[in-house]
Amino acid sequence: DVKVTQSSRYLVKRTGEKVFLECVQDMDHENMFWYRQDPGLGLRLIYFSYDVKMKEKGDIPEGYSVSREKKERFSLILESASTNQTSMYLCASSPSGSTADTQYFGPGTRLTVL
């Protein structure tokens, strides 16, 4: 079974702090994604990566950056956390670039910024 893990289920940070959200997948997938989920808005793509050291902006990249130094690990970085970044963050991976490839999700990290 595909397994995607995220470093924390719940996280509380203060405004201005630098926040790292880690995601690891164990199925050698090329693609990895970071989404945020807010009520009534569904999931929105922040950043994605098709390969090591590659990254692409999604629909809402402002205030975020990412790092992918190893194939299995994709990190989301909030350089200076703000209260409007309080949200559920979901990481996903998929095996290739075709339209038929399902994305597999981690359990999510619920981040609260005070």
Least Å distance, CB 106 to another protein, is: 7
Least Å distance, CB 83 to another protein, is: 21
DSSP 61: -
Least Å distance, CB 41 to another protein, is: 7
Query: Which of 75, 94 has the CB closer to another protein?
Result: 94
| Contact call for residues 65 and 79 (beta carbons, < 8 A) | yes
Query: Which of 45, 77 has the CB closer to another protein?
Result: 45
Question: Does an H or E element contain 113, and which?
Answer: strand 109-113
Which residues of this protein are in contact with another protein, per CB under 8 A? 9, 31, 33, 35, 40-45, 48, 50, 56, 58-59, 88, 90, 92, 94, 96-108, 110
Query: Which of 28, 40 has the CB closer to another protein?
Result: 40
| Contact call for residues 42 and 99 (beta carbons, < 8 A) | no
Measured CA to CA, the distance from residue 23 to residue 8 in angstroms comes to 9
Any idea which residue has 């703000």 for tokens?
A: 82
